[in-house]
Amino acid sequence: MAIIIGIDPGSRMTGYGIIHQTGDKLEYLDAGTIKTETREMPERLKRIFNGVTRITQHYLKYGNEPIHTAVEQVFMAENPDSALKLGQARGAAIAALVALDLEVSEYTARQIKQAVCGYGAAGKEQVQEMVCRILKLEVTPQQDAADGLACAICHAHSSHSMNKLLMNTALRGRSTSKKKGRWRLSEEDITNLR
């Protein structure tokens, strides 16, 4: 069980999505956007940092479960100025998470779309639709919020797959006893997986 916070950074609007993961079951908790609404870049970065901090602290304060965070990586835009601003916004979001001693996982837009839609070049509308289906939402979230949720879903799928891989590796390579053709984990192996 874990709470996953996904962040879709933007210099004017940063989307966030928060889900609860229990095994392979995902449940919607919250989503929205942090709007900067100012021309000055330093003020925008401050608002992103403070917004991500406030949202994350809420779940740290009231939750007894581990919190995982995921942030979309910067893609290379045609306009270098836009790419630089996006990188700064992303840096402000990551700094807010790291300042709270949280580990940050990073995913490309293609990885996120692949995890949510099964197609790495899916459009924004497809991502919104699949986020609604996966989380059983009756109301379609705004695009940036849907992208934040998609980032969280990508992390959930990625971490769930990694846990299965680790368990399978432990079952095959680290087993110390065999009974009726089946491999068993030793107590030490089980402890190391936790």
Which residues carry out catalysis? 8, 72, 144
Residue 74 or residue 150, greater confidence: 150
Amino acid at residue number 142: Q
The 3-state DSSP class for residue 32 equals strand
| Structural domain for 114, as ranges | 2-193
**Residue 62 structure tokens:** 């009231």
Distance CA 76, CA 40 (A): 23
For the ranges 39-53, 56-70, 88-102, which has the lowest average pLDDT?
Answer: 56-70
The domain total for the chain is: 1
Residue 33 pairs in a beta bridge with: 15
Say yes or no to pLDDT of 183 above 90: no
Question: Which of the 8 DSSP states describes residue 23?
Answer: T
For the beta carbon of residue 12, count every other beta carbon within 10 angstroms.
Answer: 14
Four-residue CA torsion sign, 75, 76, 79, 83: positive
In which band, very low, low, confident or very high, does the pLDDT at 20 lie, cut at 50, 70 and 90? very high
**Residue 33 structure tokens:** 């956007």
Say yes or no to pLDDT of 57 above 70: yes
Q: How confident is the model at residue 28, as a pLDDT? A: 97
**CA end-to-end distance (rounded Å), the chain:** 13
Distance CA 17, CA 128 (A): 12
**Residue 174 structure tokens:** 């680290």
The 3-state DSSP class for residue 77 equals coil
Q: Please, what is the average pLDDT of the chain?
A: 85
Distance CA 147, CA 166 (A): 28
In which band, very low, low, confident or very high, does the pLDDT at 173 lie, cut at 50, 70 and 90? low
Q: How confident is the model at residue 77, as a pLDDT? A: 62
Q: What is the CATH classification number for the domain harbouring 10?
A: 3.30.420.10
Distance CA 68, CA 124 (A): 24
Q: How confident is the model at residue 131, as a pLDDT? A: 97
The 3-state DSSP class for residue 183 equals strand
In which band, very low, low, confident or very high, does the pLDDT at 133 lie, cut at 50, 70 and 90? very high
pLDDT digits (tens, 9 = 90+) for 88-119: 999 999 999 999 999 999 999 999 999 999 98
> Looking at residues 128-151, what average pLDDT do you find?
96
